[in-house]
Structure 1
Amino acid sequence: MRGIWMIVLGVLASLIAQPARAEGFARCEQADYLASFDARLHPEPCEVVASATVHWHGGSAIVRVIRPRSLPAGDSAAIGRFLQETAVDVGQAMDAMGGGLTLPETTILMSSFVSPREVQEGRVIQKGTWKAEALGIFGQECPVNYYKSHYAGTGGDFVFTLAHELFHCIQFASFRAMPDQGWLVEGSAEYFAHLAKHQATIQFADQFNQAIPSTALDAMDYPAFVFYAWLGNANGPPKVKEFLAAARSIDGAVSSDMLMQFAKAYYETSIRLPDGRSLPVSPPPGPTVAVHGAMRFASPAVRPYTFSSQMIAFDRGKRFELSEEPAPADSRTLWRQGGSGLFGPTPTTVRTCSGEVRYQVIRTATRSGRAASYGISAASSSSTECACPAGVWQETPASTRNSVEQSATGGGGAHYISGTRILTLNPDHTGSFTYNAVEKESRTSAEFWLHQVVTGGTHFTWKVVNGILLTRYTGSNNLVTLNNELHSPRGVVRETRQSGAQSIGHNFNCDDGGLHLIGPQGYRPSFLPAGTAFNYNVDMHFVRIGGVPEAAEAP
């Protein structure tokens, strides 16, 4: 088993600064002890640079850092601080994963060597690739190598990498029947390191983006961490522990439904790390298929345990009917309007009155290598069908929840409770967007939280230009009212404020599901500082509740 690469051991360069007194460690003089870390090492006296105890519910274990006396002395005080921080963080992460985990006594050797050249399952591992390596259990002890490195690092890097390696030691002791496969071993260790060390640098998301269209999940190693980030986010950290304890192969561990749930969260970019940050993934949309008339939309090849994505562009001015052909039982297919928002079942009808309409289709399979195919018929749209977007529309609960609960910069805590928004688009091109008691709560801790009810709305005129619904405010007050209750240990403070409402300048289309407003791709507010992460979805979805004209004007 291997420890994380590309981040840390350069921290040792900054720590090897001043001599320190250290206790001896006689095991190093035993014939085979140092060789259990690295075959290039021979018996010699060692010193304990620092030690700490990891405590968790149900046990404790000593973790120590040693060095051969032939190496320069390190700054034991700094190493000791980082080791103590690691011990606390790892113990808390073990508790977060639930009972039944064991960490053996662990010894970390600061080595004067770079990692050796190796061949693993036909793959050449070049000399110097690894920065750290957990080696199994010898006797009652888990040896870990920290190799010589030319990379600079920080104390936070040291804690993160050591947490990754200590989880390998936990794996050796707690999941003895778990296969030694990279997607299980390395992916879960990277997740555990994020569970232990919050706000750490996020790695391997880009590699996952590049790999998942063609590389099966069980053929990955570190990039599989994205799977465990989803699993822990969706079901809690104990589910990750249960998964690893039961996993013997991907066939038995990841069901067809589970795989699609993972794919859905990945493409909706809704996965969050244990510290609440959004996982910065950039799912590839896949190739675009243009639909101009009647055709058969065949499933592409779908390699088991990968994600297949396509964009489907329906030509304007038509009514398309879709009929799904029988699909393999292990396959799953979901559709969504545009390239953002929430996925759902396949639409049976697509109307393209006001312009081209695009859908994204994602497919998964666990055995068969293909998913659903569709027969598509087409006819010119009638004037009655093209009454959209005139009418009275109520936002769907899922759309309101998405608007209320998402965070542009990766924060979290908002919880949608109730209420809705009503969009009125009159045939005379006047309209309004009204908040009907949209209620939410935002919690920063158990003691501090905000209860908020939003009322009011905007009035405007509207028009359609090149398939975009544009609105222009009328009147003097186009603000919503925020009715706030601020809860703290001191009591409740009530206040009323006004704020700007959601503006409308969206691509749109109508189908049997209702009116869909699709926000501009790549939208980013100008007030955000350069480099600030931004992930916000301004799509909105509505169902008609009134205002269907007998013969609507052309928008």
Structure 2
Amino acid sequence: MRVRLMLLLLCVGLSGWVPSAFALGNCSSDAYVRSFDARLSGAGCVPLVETTVHWAGGRQPLRMVTSVESAAEPSLVHLVAPIRSLAERAGRAMDEMGGVEIAPVTIYLTSLPPPPELGASQPTAALARPFPDECEVVFYWSPEGESYDFLMFTLAHELFHCISAKSFLSVYNHESAIWWAEGSAEYFAHLAYPGTSFSDGDIAEFDAGSPTQPLWSFTYSSVPFFFWLGQNEGPNAVSRFVHGLATGDGAAAEHAALRRMIDPGQWKQFGEDYLDGKIRQPAGRLMASTPQPGALRRITGPTTHRVASQPFVLHRERLSFARGKLYTLQQDNIDAGLSVGFSNTPGVWISPPDNVTACREDVLYRVLATTTEANGAATYQIALPPGIDSEGACCLVGEWSPTQASREGEIAILADVGAGQIAAAGGSLSCEPPEGTWLLSFSGDGTGSVDWQGFTNRCITRAQGGEMETASTRNGTTGFEWRTTGPGGGTARYVENSVEMTINMKLGPMTVLDRTAPDAGPSVESNGFAYQCTAETLSIQGIYGLNYRAGRYTRVSEPAP
């Protein structure tokens, strides 16, 4: 676990900055050396590396120094190349962000342990103290500690404190700025040193706290938001965002500034992308996040459910609808500014559904509630709709395709009715296998349909040396509202009929009839039907347009939740 310490905003007192009383960068000045850490009194300082940070807007010197005694440590030579690389990477990252600058920087490398008042639990830590003429970074380093990559990542983070104090002073000089000061510094370090896992611990803190904590209550662990902002709008968006943050202290000031800079749609989108695992660090590494899923509530029957959230909190929970039932959701009220999204498919978020179909298995929804304004809540009435609240009704829900025997049902009826009479007159009747099909659908909202898709019967009558071919084709939809009335029974009320019938008759090679006309539709507004249903098969009689020979079906698709 790494330790990186925020610059001492309060100790330095940025709101009342004054130039250093000592000569800038004068290693022979004990006052200058003690400004890094009072325990360094008498240690002096010796330059180890002197280089320059170049960016589009200018250049500033950067150097690393250490005590006279430590300068003889042979291993320090290995820091020369990494520090030069740090300066180059920092300059490139500054260009990517845009709108930033940096003061001259001195990094004092010491093997002293971090002072107890800094709260560091590990031997490696860094602390930035920005002054108007120079940004001082004290680097408490143990040679047996972290890798050089980690050390440079840590220093890049501290350099952004130097950059922030120079570039964003009006929004930087108060205590409550710590949330973005640390989160954006972490983002900058990833721009300079992309593809690392050094923020994974901070991301885990956001995972744990974001269901109840507002964004401004985090420090380093606000970095997921900056990853998202940079990923979606580019690194320059991070710079623009920080420029517009609060100039006053306290949670109310941070909230007001966030409302000004991030609209409700952006905050909602961040929450959805975060929960869906879509956020990436600079250069594309997927953010190592495991969001807390939120409380689980199991729904088994009629109930009232309340969802609430606070500004810039990612409130989430889960609703599990018990299998074997159809449910309705009705939003009673929702406070202004609150957005509530439901998702049962990764990457797909919808408004709270009017109906939930949980026929074959439990249906689990993730729920995300967000607001940027004020505390808000929404209330939902969950019910079992009358007439479709039984497990038998639930079995009906879905799309059904006729079996081959059902598709050939009309041919069988023709044979039953006409073939004998034609034969008695010395003729014959033969029919081809039908073309096209139809689908029978029952929806969880109590609607249904018979959708004819070019279903065609073609028969040939032969008599006295001649033949006549007759083809009948159906297209269109019969729509109905359905309810069950008990085990194996229900009613259908017809509300739509757009079916058209096309009849084509040929006498030998000559077409004698080719006509398309609307289907007459059902003669009654509603009627009963009988059914037997299993997980994969359906037998049904009584739906308009389907004769008694067209009564067997297999399931095409599961009902959508």
| Contact kept in structure 1, 2:63 and 2:105, CA below 8 Å | yes
| Contact kept in structure 2, 1:160 and 1:197, CA below 8 Å | yes
Could you tell me how far apart the structure 1 residues matched to 2:326 and 2:44 are?
Answer: 81
Q: Map residues 127-138 of structure 1 onto 2, 5 A cutoff.
A: 131-137=125-131
Change (3 A) 1:550 1:285: farther
Residue 509 of structure 2 corresponds to: none
Instruction: Give TM-score, length-normalised by structure 1.
Output: 0.62
Report SS of the residue matched to 2:232: helix
Which residue identity lines up with residue 186 of structure 1 in the other structure?
E
Residue 209 of structure 1 corresponds to: 207
1:193 Cα deviation after fit = 0.4
Report SS of the residue matched to 1:371: strand
Could you tell me how far apart the structure 2 residues matched to 1:133 and 1:109 are?
Answer: 10
Could you tell me how far apart the structure 2 residues matched to 1:237 and 1:369 are?
Answer: 31
| Contact kept in structure 2, 1:28 and 1:43, CA below 8 Å | no
Per-residue CA distance 1:454-512 (angstroms, 9 max, x = gap): xxxxxxxxxxxxxxxxxxxxxxxxxxxxxxxxxxxxxxxxxxxxxxxxxxxxxxxxxxx
Could you tell me how far apart the structure 1 residues matched to 2:63 and 2:328 are?
Answer: 67
Q: 1:252 aligns with which of 254, 257, 260?
A: 257
Max Rg structure:
2
Q: 2:194 aligns with which of 184, 198, 204?
A: 198
Aligned residues: 375
Change (3 A) 1:309 1:427: farther
Instruction: Give TM-score, length-normalised by structure 2.
Output: 0.62
Residue 375 of structure 1 corresponds to: 381
Residue 240 of structure 1 corresponds to: 238
Report SS of the residue matched to 1:149: coil
Q: Map residues 328-347 of structure 1 onto 2, 5 A cutoff.
A: 328-337=335-344, 340-347=346-353
Residue 83 of structure 1 corresponds to: 83
1:306 Cα deviation after fit = 2.0
Please list every run of 5 or more consecutive structure 2 residues that lacks an aligned counterpart in the other structure.
7-23, 247-253, 405-545
Q: Map residues 107-256 of structure 1 onto 2, 5 A cutoff.
A: 107-118=106-117, 125=119, 131-137=125-131, 139-149=132-142, 152-179=145-172, 180=174, 181-203=177-199, 204-248=202-246, 249-253=254-258, 254-256=262-264
Change (3 A) 1:3 1:384: closer
1:228 Cα deviation after fit = 0.6
Which residue identity lines up with residue 363 of structure 1 in the other structure?
A
Q: 1:313 aligns with which of 320, 323, 345?
A: 320
1:216 Cα deviation after fit = 2.1
Identify, as 1 or 2, the structure richer in helix.
2
Please list every run of 5 or more consecutive structure 1 residues that lacks an aligned counterpart in the other structure.
7-24, 120-124, 392-424, 429-547
| Contact kept in structure 1, 2:34 and 2:40, CA below 8 Å | yes
| Contact kept in structure 2, 1:114 and 1:127, CA below 8 Å | no
Could you tell me how far apart the structure 2 residues matched to 1:129 and 1:76 are?
Answer: 17
Residue 297 of structure 2 corresponds to: 289
| Contact kept in structure 2, 1:251 and 1:366, CA below 8 Å | no
| Contact kept in structure 2, 1:26 and 1:46, CA below 8 Å | no
Report SS of the residue matched to 2:105: strand
Could you tell me how far apart the structure 2 residues matched to 1:104 and 1:209 are?
Answer: 35
Residue 329 of structure 2 corresponds to: 322
Change (3 A) 1:26 1:5: closer
Change (3 A) 1:3 1:65: farther
Q: Map residues 354-503 of structure 1 onto 2, 5 A cutoff.
A: 354-379=360-385, 380=388, 386=395, 390=399
Could you tell me how far apart the structure 1 residues matched to 2:159 and 2:402 are?
Answer: 63
Report SS of the residue matched to 1:84: helix
Could you tell me how far apart the structure 1 residues matched to 2:143 and 2:210 are?
Answer: 31
Could you tell me how far apart the structure 1 residues matched to 2:104 and 2:129 are?
Answer: 13
Change (3 A) 1:388 1:132: same
Change (3 A) 1:284 1:110: same
Could you tell me how far apart the structure 2 residues matched to 1:259 and 1:550 are?
Answer: 52
Percent identity between the aligned chains? Answer: 29
Residue 541 of structure 1 corresponds to: none
Per-residue CA distance 1:397-416 (angstroms, 9 max, x = gap): xxxxxxxxxxxxxxxxxxxx
Could you tell me how far apart the structure 1 residues matched to 2:51 and 2:283 are?
Answer: 24
Could you tell me how far apart the structure 2 residues matched to 1:552 and 1:3 are?
Answer: 66
RMSD: 2.9
Report SS of the residue matched to 1:223: helix
1:550 Cα deviation after fit = 8.3
